[in-house]
Amino acid sequence: MQSAGVSCLINMAYSLAVHGGAGTILRSTMTPELEAAYRKGLDNALNAGTLVLSQGGSAVDAVEAAVASLEDFPLFNAGKGAVFNHIGKHEMDAAIMDGSNLAAGAVSGVGNIKNPVKAAREVMDKSGHVMLVGAGAEAFARECGLEFEDDAYFYIEQRYKQWQDAVAEERVTLDHSEKKFGTVGAAALDSHGNLAAATSTGGMTNKKFGRVGDSPIIGAGTYANNNTCAISCTGHGELFMRSVVAYDISCLMEYKGMKLNEACNLVVHEKLVRIGGEGGLIAVDKFGNVSLPFNSDGMYRAAITSGGLKMTAIYKD
C-alpha cells in the first residue's frame, strides 16, 4: 500500500508558472552570463514550488515557496533585490491569494522583512484582515516570528547606482529603465484542484509619497479563484489597477465562458494596449493550462506541469 501511495504522488497533476518581471528587456544589453543567471533564478523558483506540488502540497504553499525563492535572488526587484525609494530605503509590497476559499493577504510599504510574501501569508492566515501597511505590517510580521534583515542585506550595488542616476535626473523609474517592470510572482494548480497566486515587488526606483502599485492589490495584480484561474501580473501598476487586470480575466472566464488564453490575450493585447498599459502576466486555470502573455519586449517567465511541460524564457521568441 505504501508503494502505491508513492506512485500516486509521483503521477499527480499540477501546474506552476513563475515570472520575474516584464518590460523592455533588450538582447543588446544582455550578456550570456547575465541571461544564464536570470534563468537560474527562474529555475530555482520552479524547483521550490515543484517540490511542494510533487509531494501533494497545496498551491498556496507552492506559490509562497516559489516567490520566496525569487525574493532571495538579487537580480529580481523583490526582497533582497528590491529597488531604492526616493529617500534611499526599501518599500516592498506583496500579496497572496487562495483560490479554494478566496482568502487573501497583502502587505505594502514594508521594510527589512526578508520575505514579504511570507508576511502576506501570515496576514491571510492569522490577522483577520486582507492588507496591512508600513510599520503596522512590520510589527505584525515580528509578532509572527518572521525573519528580518538589516539594510545591508538589501543593498545591491546595481540598484544603488540606478537610484543615484534617477535622483540625478529627477525621475521615477519602474526599474533600471523607464519600461522595465520589476515584479516577481507565481501561480499554481495543485493535485487537489486548488489554485493560488502570489506577487512581490520592490516597486519603482526613486518612488515618492508611499506609492503603491498593483502587486499587493487583490484583483489588480494578484487573484485566484478555483472556478477560473490564478494570476500574477507585472507591468505599469497604475494602469493594471485601473483595469483590474487579474479579476477581469477571471470574470471573462466565469461570465463569458472564455478559455484561459482567450481571456488573457484580450486583456493584455487589446484592453491594456488601448489605454497604454504595458506588461504581462502569468496564469494557470483550473484544468492546469498555463498562459504567459505580455505586450512588452520581454518577460522573465517559466512554467512546469506534471504533464511534461517545462520552459524558461525571456524574450518574445
- Phi, psi (rounded to 5 degrees) for 293: -80, 150
Torsion of CA 231, 258, 240, 123, to 10 degrees: -30
Q: Classify burial at 262, counting beta carbons within 10 Å of its beta carbon; exposed 0-12, middle 13-18, buried 19 or more.
A: middle
What is the SS3 assignment for 311? Answer: strand
Using CA atoms, how far apart are residues 183 and 189, in angstroms rounded to an integer?
Answer: 21
- Examine the residue annotation and report whether 50 is marked as an active-site residue of this protein: no
Three-state SS sequence of 3-41 = HHHHHHHHCCCCEEEEEEEEECCCHHHCCHHHHHHHHHH
Distance in angstroms between the alpha carbons of the first and the last residue of the chain: 46
**Helices (DSSP H) in the chain: which residue ranges?**
2-10, 32-54, 59-71, 116-122, 134-143, 151-154, 157-168, 237-243, 245-256, 260-266, 272-274
Query: Within a 10 A sphere around the Cβ of 214, how many other Cβ atoms?
Result: 31
Using CA atoms, how far apart are residues 60 and 54, in angstroms rounded to an integer?
Answer: 14
List 50, 173, 183, 201, catalytic entry: 183
Using CA atoms, how far apart are residues 124 and 145, in angstroms rounded to an integer?
Answer: 15
Q: Give the CA distances from residue 168 to residues 84, 135, 163, 174, 210, in Å, rounded to whole numbers and listed in that order.
A: 14, 29, 9, 16, 20
Backbone CA torsion sign across 220, 223, 225, 226:
positive
Which one-letter DSSP state was computed for residue 150? -
Catalytic sites, residue numbers: 183
